[in-house]
Structure formats: C-alpha cells, structure tokens
C-alpha cells in the first residue's frame, strides 16, 4: 500500500482576487484520499477459507465507474467481520476531521431479501475505536449509491486506522463499486456533506402503513357504552357526555435519572414537567442497578416514591447484570467472588431479598436479568440453572410484578440472529421452570435502521406470533436513535412507534432518556440542551397526544346509553346535567358497558298553551308520569291517560285545553 496525498497549493497573493476565492481554493486543495491506488479494487478480501467467500473483479457499464468487485458469500461465518474487504488508511487523520465518501452496491442474490454490507472506519488495533459504523441494505437489484460522512473520533497516523466493508451477514452475492473515502479536514461542517441514511418503508404510501393502522384500530381500541342512570335506577336519555383519555393502557415512557428528578433549578423543573406530561411509565436509568442502589438506596426510594405519587408506573432495572465487561455491572466485591460459587450465590440472593423486599408492591415490572446473552461471566461459573433460580426468587418475593428478561441486538441488528438467540434462551429458561413473564427489547439504533416490515416480522418471531401462539409479551425498554440526521431520526421515531403500537405482543415503548443534557447518547435525545424539541420529539408527541388519543362528546340514547369507540386506557368522563357537571373515571380495556350512577335532578314542567296544551320536561328525567288534580293540596292525583313521547327536545305530552282550573305534576313510582 502507498499514500495518495495532494499537497495544499501555497498561498500566492497575486492569484487572490477575492478573499473568499482564496479560502475556497485552499479548502479544495486540502482534500486527501485515504484509499490505496485502485480504491476498491485495491482492497483485499478477508475470509476464513475459500469455501466461505470469494472475490472477483467485474466490468461495469452505465455507471460513474467501469470496474467493481463481486463478493459471493457462500456461508455465514461466526462474525460478520470474518468476511470483509479492508484497507489501512493511506494518509494521516486529525481528531475531528470530516471524512466523506460514497459507495455503490447492487444485490444479485438473494432475490427475496436485502443484501447487507457494513462500512466501518475504526482504529486499526485495540480498542478499535469506531468513528463510523453503518449497515447498508440493498434490495432493489440495481446499482444504488450510498453517501456517508462522519467526524473522526481520534487522530491517526498513516496506516493507524482502517476502512472495512463487512459482508458476512448472510449467504448472498453482492457487487460493489465507485468507492471513495476523502479527508476534508475541518474547514467545512459535517452538515455540508450528504449522508444517505434511510430505510425501506419510509415512503408515505408504503404498503405496511395501511396494515399497521388497521391493526391499531383493532387491538388498541375498544367499544365503550356508558349506561347512565340516576340513583333511583332510571335511565337518563339525551344527557351530553364528554370522554377524554387521560392515561393510555399502552406504556409510553422513558428512562429518568433520580438525581435530576429530585434536583432544584429551572432545568430540573423542565425535566420533571416533561416526565409528568409526556409519559405514563418511567424506569430509573441507573439508580436501581445493583452497585448504584447499594451505594445510595435512599435516592432510589425517593425517586420511586416521587414517580408513584404522580401515577407513573415504575420499571425496575435491573436485579442483576451478570457480567464483568464494565465495572458498573456488579459491585466490586461480587466481581471478586467468581471463583467462590457458594459465597457468590449467597451475595446475589441476599441482594435480591433486600431490594425486592424494600420495593414490594411499588415496582410494576422488573428486569430480573439484563443482557445475559452478552454478559456471561456469572452464568459461566454458576450455570444456567442459577438464572432460573433468580426468576424463581423474584416471583416468590414479588408475585405481583411482571418479570422480564432484557436484551439487545435483536430489533436493531442487521440480521435476525440475535432475535433467534433471545427466543431460544428464553424458551430454555421457561422449559427449566423459570417464570419468565415477558421479554424486554432494548432497541438502540445507530447506523442501521431496520425497516418497519422487518421489525414486525422480528416481533412475530420473538413473541411467538409467527407460530400462531402469543408466547411472550414484549416491551421496548431502551429505545433511541443515535444518528445526526434529525429528519431521518424523526421519521424513524414515527415509524418505529407505529410498528410497535400495531403489534399485539408489544405492551409499551420506553425511550432511554429524552433530554440531551441527561442522555447517554445526547444525539439520540428528543430535546436539545436548550429544551427545543427535535423532529423526533414532534413525532412522539403528535402520535401520543393527537393521533392515538380519544377526546369526544356524545349524547345518551333514548335508553340512557352513551356509546363511543376509543383507545384503551383510563378516561375522565364528564356528564353535563342542569346546573352541575358530574365527573367520574372509567377504565376501558375491552368492549363493555359501564354503569354510571348520577344524582337525581328533579325536572320542571313547561306548559305551552294552544289548541292543545303541551306539557314538556327534560329528556334526562325518565320514569316520570304526568298527573292532575283540581286542588294543589289534593290527597289524590290522577294519572294522565297515554304515554309521554321522547323527542329531540325532551319528553312531551299534548292534551286538550282543560274546561276548568287544574293542577299538574310529575311523579315517579314510589315517590
């Protein structure tokens, strides 16, 4: 390999007619290719053996390049990077330099699924710091251009960084061409460069949308009939009723930080305001994790209490994170017990007992074990039967909570491998007697955005609906989209929420934070540091506050029935009676009728003289009959023959004009 580098043209005053022309010229001259001679053709193929994958040079017509590479992947290796094209960089890179490029892909096979290529710019050695990771999905079968740009996370000497194209995702045949990779330095901002990050199904008329909306109408709504009766048991026809959804049955939530939640100041006030106004469920991001909880249990308790007093359900995250890849997963003394299983078991079980006993009845669901497919240190020394026992202990100590297994690399990965592994692991635990109630899917998205149709297929696979059985309820537990393109981020938030809300196995979606100044990936937040909403915040609020809500006014029928169809959840029902409003709470979880008992409001008779005297009274006053007497203090009143008719303006009886003075009254049976 050798360096291909253009030197900046020296500044010559005689050539600089305008200042901006000098700057523009210098910027162009500073562009430096990071690829070897031949670019893509100069990149070798790494493969475990010749039977796994092969590379050949092809001739291309009708494109901006005349040659390309065809890679045939005949087997799926253990890791995607086991089959890859790669090269070391041919020029130095400074930290913060903007690197941009493009590549063309064409899928030859499979014909019924996308071909996948992952482009990676990273340090050429441990710890392999990655500045770019993006999975490209080509499913059109025609040459498709993908443009990308990113800042380098570190400085690299020539050859100290590498650009790889990982191809070991599937059995596939993929053609590649037109690769460029250029260092533009730091004269221009990242926003100046094209980034073709998108996903299949983003189109407004994408076929999956109609099916998703039909599913939402079917599974997220129910018919509600209010049977309006007064305390005497009589129906109340014609009464106006206002119904307003105040809390979704579906969990819309976020991770929150206990310290921020309980802090003072303007930002803390805004933080609390978003939580109470936007979410019905919250998970403490760190405060219930084992090491953090033991260091400050009162913080966790105060945060849980604050949330619950505001009618916000709390998720418990997590009882155990059984790995040693990061110091924060387990307390320091526990990491030192991996060679002493009896002591380790006692320490773990004691922690379960302490925290579950403290929060009995306060936590709606617990992540019993977090990321067991990736953090395997504890299971490695204790065996899977110990994981089964953790679920049993949790069930015994907290029988009312929903018990979750929480994992990542399922929805957000380029393939279904992680989804299959999660389902198999959960099935194995259940077969061994573990009360695994539900599965938590983290859903941290970055350079690859799984298409909505594929999301739905994976939700089917993980939950068991692909086999016709609803084996596992699912919850999206840590959703975020860490991309720079805010419009793509907003569109994908809209479409991910729509897909999840439309799936019958999914019971909620929780963001993993919402404010950039309190987010593990600030770029993935809903709100910028100054609290201005990003497009993803607008997408979230539009769906949860406008599209998926019910606020309607209906009028009771002649039998006192007020009927509507609305989203499942808790409703505030306001019944408007003369001189008063009666407000009550109703929960809608399935089609049904709810009796609403209202106070008796005594009606007043209105008399309209004419050829026929018309006696009328309000429609809500049912069960009354019209009686008459010749004296107001008469002991016996006689009923008017015939029946009152209920019309749009209320009850009405018409009678001939009386020959003499008579008195009239309304009376119910038993009065």
- What is the tens place of the pLDDT at every residue in 633-666? 999 999 887 678 888 888 998 888 887 888 989 8
Query: pLDDT tens digits, residue range 210-249?
Result: 999 999 999 999 999 999 999 999 999 999 999 999 999 9
The mean per-residue pLDDT over the stretch 532-556 comes to 98
- pLDDT grade, residue 668 (50/70/90)? confident
- Domain residue limits, the chain: 13-192, 246-546, 606-668
The sign of the CA dihedral 201, 203, 204, 210 is negative
Helix (H) or strand (E) holding 584: strand 580-588
In the predicted structure, residue 1 carries a pLDDT above the cut 50: no
Note the pTM of the prediction, 2 decimals: 0.86
78 Cβ contact list (under 8 Å, min separation 6): none
pLDDT confidence of residue 469: 66
The mean per-residue pLDDT over the stretch 98-120 comes to 94
pLDDT confidence of residue 470: 64
Alpha-carbon distance of 86 to 46, in angstroms, equals 8
By the 8 A CB rule, do 236 and 228 touch? yes
Helix (H) or strand (E) holding 600: none
70, 194, 310, 410 from 73: Cα distances, Å: 10, 30, 55, 23
Superfamily classification of domain 246-546:
Glycosidases (3.20.20.80)
Q: What phi and psi, each to the nearest 5 degrees, are found at residue 644?
A: -70, 145
* Per-residue burial over 399-437, b = 16 or more CB atoms within 10 Å of its CB, e = otherwise: eebbbbbbbbbbbbbbbbebbeebbebbeebbeeebebb
- pLDDT grade, residue 620 (50/70/90)? confident
Q: Output 570-575 pairs: Cβ under 8 A, ≥24 positions apart.
A: 570/245, 570/246, 570/247, 570/249, 571/224, 571/243, 571/244, 571/245, 571/246, 572/243, 572/244, 572/246, 573/226, 573/241, 573/242, 573/243, 573/244, 574/241, 574/242, 574/244, 575/228, 575/239, 575/240, 575/241
In the predicted structure, residue 479 carries a pLDDT above the cut 90: yes
Cis peptide before 110 (omega within 30 of 0): yes
Alpha-carbon distance of 18 to 108, in angstroms, equals 51
227, 510, 550, 574 from 568: Cα distances, Å: 18, 18, 9, 18
- pLDDT grade, residue 623 (50/70/90)? confident
Q: What phi and psi, each to the nearest 5 degrees, are found at residue 635?
A: -80, -25
In the predicted structure, residue 352 carries a pLDDT above the cut 60: yes
| Angle formed by the axes of helices 417-431 and 452-463, nearest 10° | 20
pLDDT confidence of residue 342: 97
Structure tokens at 45: 């193929």
Q: Output 289-297 pairs: Cβ under 8 A, ≥24 positions apart.
A: 289/317, 289/318, 289/321, 289/328, 290/318, 290/319, 290/320, 290/321, 290/330, 290/331, 290/334, 290/351, 291/328, 291/329, 291/330, 291/331, 291/332, 292/328, 293/355, 294/331, 294/351, 297/358
Least confident of 5-14, 363-372, 377-386, 578-587: 5-14
The torsion angle over the Cα atoms of residues 535, 541, 546 and 552, rounded to 10 degrees, is -170
38, 138, 222, 298, 650 from 54: Cα distances, Å: 19, 19, 56, 60, 84
CATH number for the domain whose boundaries are 606-668: 2.60.40
Alpha-carbon distance of 457 to 409, in angstroms, equals 15
pLDDT confidence of residue 670: 57
Residues in the chain: 671
The mean per-residue pLDDT over the stretch 521-541 comes to 98
Alpha-carbon distance of 467 to 482, in angstroms, equals 33
Alpha-carbon distance of 605 to 664, in angstroms, equals 9
Q: What phi and psi, each to the nearest 5 degrees, are found at residue 350?
A: -65, -40
Alpha-carbon distance of 490 to 484, in angstroms, equals 11
Helix (H) or strand (E) holding 365: strand 365-370
The torsion angle over the Cα atoms of residues 134, 135, 141 and 146, rounded to 10 degrees, is 0
CA angle 596, 600, 602 (to 5 degrees): 145
By the 8 A CB rule, do 262 and 306 touch? yes
DSSP conformational letter for 157: -
Query: pLDDT tens digits, residue range 179-191?
Result: 999 999 999 999 8
Query: pLDDT tens digits, residue range 511-520?
Result: 999 999 999 9
> Which has more pLDDT, 620 or 331?
331
Cis peptide before 318 (omega within 30 of 0): yes
DSSP string, 468-514: T-----EEEEEEEE--S-HHHHHHHHHHHHHHHHH-TTEEEEEES-S
pLDDT confidence of residue 220: 98
By the 8 A CB rule, do 378 and 341 touch? no
Alpha-carbon distance of 239 to 625, in angstroms, equals 19
- pLDDT grade, residue 311 (50/70/90)? very high
pLDDT confidence of residue 56: 96
> Which has more pLDDT, 487 or 22?
487
Q: What phi and psi, each to the nearest 5 degrees, are found at residue 387?
A: -65, -40
Place of tokens 């739905």: 456
Query: pLDDT tens digits, residue range 7-18?
Result: 333 333 333 333
By the 8 A CB rule, do 457 and 503 touch? no
62 Cβ contact list (under 8 Å, min separation 6): none
Burial tier of 669 (Cβ tally within 10 Å: 0-12, 13-18, 19+): exposed
% of the chain at pLDDT higher than 70: 94
The alpha carbon of 597 is separated from its chain's Cα centroid by a whole number of angstroms, namely 39
Query: pLDDT tens digits, residue range 423-470?
Result: 999 999 999 999 999 999 999 999 899 999 999 999 999 999 877 666
Alpha-carbon distance of 646 to 535, in angstroms, equals 52
Superfamily classification of domain 13-192:
Galactose-binding domain-like (2.60.120.260)
Q: In what order do the strands lie in the sheet with 645-647?
A: 606-608, 612-617, 650-656, 645-647
Average pLDDT, the chain: 92
481 Cβ contact list (under 8 Å, min separation 6): 445, 446, 449, 489, 492, 493, 496, 524, 536
């Amino acid at each position: 390999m050798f360096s291909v580098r253009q030197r900046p043209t020296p500044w010559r005053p005689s050539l600089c007619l305008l200042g901006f022309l000098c700057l523009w010229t210098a910027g162009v001259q500073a562009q430096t290719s990071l690829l070897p001679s031949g670019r893509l053709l100069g990149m070798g193929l790494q493969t475990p053996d010749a039977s796994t994958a092969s590379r050949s040079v092809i001739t291309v017509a009708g494109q901006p390049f005349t040659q390309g590479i065809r890679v045939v992947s005949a087997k799926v290796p253990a890791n995607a990077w086991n089959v890859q094209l790669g090269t070391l960089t041919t020029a130095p890179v400074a930290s913060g330099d903007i690197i941009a490029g493009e590549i063309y892909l064409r899928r030859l096979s499979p014909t019924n699924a996308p071909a996948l290529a992952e482009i990676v710019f990273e340090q050429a050695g441990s710890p392999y710091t990655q500045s770019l990771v993006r999975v490209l999905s080509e499913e059109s079968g025609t040459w498709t251009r993908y443009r990308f740009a990113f800042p380098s996370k570190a400085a690299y000497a020539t050859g100290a960084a590498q650009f790889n194209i990982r191809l070991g995702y599937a059995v596939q045949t993929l053609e590649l061409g037109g690769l460029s990779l250029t260092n533009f330095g730091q004269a221009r901002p990242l926003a100046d460069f094209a980034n073709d990050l998108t996903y299949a199904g983003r189109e407004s008329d994408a076929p999956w949308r109609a099916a998703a909306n039909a599913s939402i109408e079917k599974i997220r709504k129910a018919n509600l009939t209010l049977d309006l009766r007064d305390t005497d048991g009589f129906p109340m026809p014609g009464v106006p009723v206002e119904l307003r959804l105040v809390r979704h049955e579906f969990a819309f939530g976020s991770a929150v930080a206990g310290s921020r939640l309980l802090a003072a100041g303007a930002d803390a006030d805004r933080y609390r305001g978003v939580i109470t106004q936007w979410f019905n469920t919250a998970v403490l991001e760190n405060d219930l994790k084992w090491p953090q909880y033991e260091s400050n249990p009162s913080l966790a308790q105060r945060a849980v209490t604050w949330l619950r007093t505001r009618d916000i359900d709390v998720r418990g995250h997590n009882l155990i994170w059984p790995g040693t890849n990061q110091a924060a997963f387990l307390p320091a003394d526990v990491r030192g017990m991996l060679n002493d299983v009896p002591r380790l078991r006692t320490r773990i079980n004691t922690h379960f007992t302490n925290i579950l006993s403290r929060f009995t009845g306060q936590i709606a669901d617990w992540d019993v074990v977090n990321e067991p497919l990736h953090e395997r240190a504890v299971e490695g020394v204790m065996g899977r039967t110990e994981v089964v026992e953790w679920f049993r202990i949790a069930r015994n100590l907290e029988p009312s909570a929903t018990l979750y297994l929480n994992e990542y690399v399922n929805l957000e990965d380029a393939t279904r491998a992680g989804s299959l592994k999660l389902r198999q692991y959960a099935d194995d635990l259940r077969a061994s007697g573990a009360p695994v109630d539900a599965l938590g899917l983290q859903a941290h998205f970055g350079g690859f955005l799984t298409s909505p149709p594929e999301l739905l297929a994976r939700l089917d696979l993980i939950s068991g609906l692909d086999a016709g059985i609803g084996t596992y309820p699912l919850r999206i537990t840590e959703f975020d989209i860490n991309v720079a393109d805010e419009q793509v981020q907003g569109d994908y938030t809209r479409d991910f929420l729509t897909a999840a809300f439309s799936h019958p196995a999914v019971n909620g979606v929780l963001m993993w934070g919402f404010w950039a100044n309190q987010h593990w990936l600030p770029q993935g937040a809903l709100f910028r540091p100054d609290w201005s909403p990003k497009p993803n915040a607008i997408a979230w609020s539009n769906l949860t506050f406008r599209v998926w809500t019910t606020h309607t006014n209906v009028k009771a029928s002649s039998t006192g029935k007020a009927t509507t169809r609305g989203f499942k959840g808790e409703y505030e029902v306001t019944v408007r009676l003369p001189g008063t409003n009666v407000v009550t709470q109703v929960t809608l979880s399935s089609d049904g009728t709810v009796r609403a008992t209202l106070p008796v409001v005594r009606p007043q008779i209105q008399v309209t003289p004419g050829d026929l005297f018309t006696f009328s009274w309000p429609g809500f006053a049912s069960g009354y009959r019209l009686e008459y007497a010749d004296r107001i203090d008469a002991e016996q009143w006689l009923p008017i023959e015939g029946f009152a008719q209920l019309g749009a303006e209320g009850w009405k009886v018409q009678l001939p004009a009386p020959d003499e003075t008579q008195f009239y009254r309304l009376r119910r049976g038993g009065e």
